[in-house]
Structure 1
Amino acid sequence: MKRPSTAVAHRALIASAVVLIALVGAPIASGHAILEETSPGNDSVLQQSPPAVLLRFNEAVETAFGSIRVYDCSAKRVDSGQITRPADRIVSITVNPQLPRGTYTVTWRVISADSHPVSGAFVFHVKSPGACPAGIAQQVLGKGTPGSISALFKFARGLDFALLLLVVGGSAVLALVLRSAAPTLRRRLYGTVAGLGVGLVLAAILCIVLQGAVAGGFGLSEAFRWNTVHAVLRTRFGGAFEYQLAFAVAAAVVAFGASRFRPDVLGPLTILPAVSLIPTLSAAGHARTSGTLAFAADVTHVAAASAWVGGLAFTVLALLLAGEDRWPLAARAVPRFSMLAVVSVAVLITAGVIRGIEEVRPWPGLHAAVSNLSGWRGLWDTTYGLLLLAKIGLVLPLLALGAYNNRFAVPRLRRQIASLVERRRFLRAAGAELVIMASIVGVTAVLVSQPPAKASVAAGPFAKTFPIGNLEVNFVVDPAKTGPNVMHLYFSTPSGLQAGVADAKISASLPSKSIGPLRFNLQKIVPSHYTMSGAVFPLPGDWQLTIEARRGQFQSLQTTVSVPIRKG
């Protein structure tokens, strides 16, 4: 029969595993690039052939797997095939300077800063619409990334993140917290770090391969070809993961050496390649394009999470493996980890709040942030902001438990005067901390799948992705001001595949002024993309737009979204 303290410790280890499993299931932060402007404009009529087609996005994009193609009504390409980049956010391609009268379809596919592909289509006319006034996008657009590949890629990124937390956190606590553990125990723990490092190498390789499949819309067979892998390695995502591979190999080799020879000499060296792993996650995501402050906050956030979550997992594992030396080791190690955890949580909160504020609103300076409270509407008017508040709120009881342990349990454990009841209480409190951590990770899993709040409330075009029935729709209103606007609706499955609908309608109301509903007639570009030019909003305010879509003969989809329209 297990001793009570051992049973509770096992439950704590299981709770720690739940946290890590939740981390594996949590998608990496997203918020894909949004097409803000095209030249020529959608459905525009030109009097002569344009010199080039230009697309401007809301963030930097890459074209390693991307393309812009221009077709006439017979599906013949009329572009040069040479993509140019006037700026990081702008992609352009020249076209035949003598285009005849008719309709031309532009299809595009680029890679967002978060490594996800985005694509779409629009049409323009020279002198007058031709034989295909709605374009031929349905005929020439590809099928996009298979849903199974997209799901596998998300899992691989989550697994990569969890392994990185464990390698970094384990290396840190072995160097700072568990120095006094028996050499045999330290060798076993360094062997665990080495195994996790090998797992991280394999996960990073899988991420590189699957990134090629996701970015290019390929199957697995083509993703494993060298030319595809080589194309990924030329991107910023590929460059970041090359560094991650190198540092993961180094951490695994050094940790393996420590597990076989001198853990007291080789072991502390593991922390050097382990810490170098941290920026690779930030460099592979949106943080790298969001400015120095956002990047630094993201790196700090990952570092603190590694020390907290990965460190806790290894501390609990060490106590489980210590046997009869469990509580003497706890007397030495727990106070040290408690100090590390307090610092990590404080840094985690600070960096997380800074990063979250970056996503809720552009940082205006302290005085403007305090004085202009309306600018903070993203905190309570959007799902992202509400989830951020919930995440911050969950940290408060965690801090309370940490303060309790530091005030009562840790001093008695340090002096080795804790009774059996107090030891049980300490382990129960540690278990409660793990449960709250699991809740925070669960909220984070939902949080990072939401578009940043600033995409909904900041100045500029309104762009938001939200569910409609069993589908999702990316809804764009440009420029989201009074007067004429262009609206786009892109329908997709939750896995990111394009999804066609038979018909789509939009009506708009402004309840505060008793206006509406106003009916807008949408034009079908392809079954997954509907648009309208000249949608007029007569007054500023929070307009309620109801989107209705029909799939097949009997399935009807509907949702309502609030769109802030500013004065033009």
Structure 2
Amino acid sequence: MTMRTGAPILILFVMLAALFLSPGYAFAHAELERSVPEPNARLSEGPAAVEIYFNEPIESKVGALDVLDNNSKAVTGEAPAAGADRKSLKLPLPKLDEGVYTVSYSIVSSDGHPISGSYVFIVGNPPEAVDASSFDLHKQFGHESHGTDSGSFSWKTLILYIVRFLYYSALLLAAGVMLWSLLYKGGADAMNAVRKKWELQIMRFLLLAALVYVFIHASEMMLGYPASDYAKLFGETSVGRGWIALIVLAVAGFPILKLGRVVRMIWAAALLGVESWSGHAVVFEPKAVTVLLDFVHLASSAVWVGGLALLLALWSADRKEAGRFASAFSRAALVSIVLLILTGVVMTLTFMPSLRYLFYTSWGSMLLAKTGAVLLVLVVGALLRRRVRRGDLPSMTLMRLDLGLMAIILAVVGIFTYISPLPGNTPVVYHKMGEEMHLTLRISPNNPGADNKFTVKVWLPEQTGAPKNVVLRLKSQDRKELGAIDVPLQPYEDDEISSFEGFVRADYKAEGPFIPFAGKWNAEIRVMDQEDNEKVESYEFRTY
């Protein structure tokens, strides 16, 4: 090689060496220096904006900065603004309620290097996440849940469901008949005869069903506990006080029969209100809205059930008056079914973080079955209404079909109002044995937005020694565009006896709301040994 040809190659080599060996350029990718609010900060009120600062200029027109709530929804649609030096981004925020929020950034540095990450901050004292454990009545008075396995079915379970079916039938029938006292004022003689014959029987049915319902549920709740705890159940829990109110209203129904229409309507509203305040709706926020929706749902059901019962009774007593009542009933039933569907949809969307949850629990399966039956009721009601509008008497076949669908719906209600609408979270326990490393990961209680406890245990061969560094990263599998959340592990000494011959153990822990929202997550554990060899293990889990 001549000097003339070798010189350019030598110069090129020197330039490349300078390029790749210069600490000021080759490894100077932008890094996050600080953020406002800081990772894992606990604030008394929401910040006006989120700001992130980097050590080098970034491409402000590329990438994203988002703040997500505990449902993984963006809290603002505004775009972040870059600082004058192009080293920072600022995203203005609306007023934030109490909760756990995720800051997610994904940017590109000036040298084209992508950078992403996520962290959480907390505003106020957010309420605990709602899952199956939220519907455990034992927690209200300090007991541990100990009922039969929800997955098992026995004759006791069958009796419980039959009692609940009879109770809801009596509740809606009694309330519905009372409401129709105000809704229908025609046919005084025929209607009064029907009411005189049936209303007293309905009130007896309600009182008996309520007493058996409370007895069965209280006995199940107190199984294995001292009799003295019954006073605690009925005096210190909202459900127990609701049961007392239910029995009082059932007894009061007898003298109410002799009073006017307005008093009857108030009694019916009180009866449905007590049931609304004792159901699933009271667990969710905003409580006033969910309870109101449940009340409207129950009232619509009562109008339909009570009206259908009166129509069948009038059919036997006076066909002509049955035809007149059928006209009023068909209109009210149509409105009731529409309200049932609307309130049912809104409540389902409120209870369920995602419609996928309908397929995770028996509650979802029951709801889908109920929805199908309600849609059939809508079809039957439309056929009945068409006959009535033509001036024909209601078809007995259609009324029987409507009655059968009503029984199916009430049976489903008796079951699915007893079980949790949400799956239960269980702690994450993962252990893997390997020739070069053993690993344990524990996350408890594994609730989204809660201060979960994270434990990582690593065993490396004695000749390798203790790990130099251990990193735990959580990645959302539902929102893969989000950066990973680093859990700030700290070493600690655990007195748990778990040793393996020829291995050295290192223990790490952290606590905080590092699972900010429900969904599928991937836990990535990166273990660096003393010679900078890295081993990576991943484990996928779900939180509801």
Query: TM-score, structure 1 length as denominator?
Result: 0.47
Q: Of Structure 1 and Structure 2, which has the larger fraction of its residues in helix?
A: 1
Which structure is richer in relative contact order (CA contacts within 8 A, separation 6 or more)? 1
Larger Rg: 2
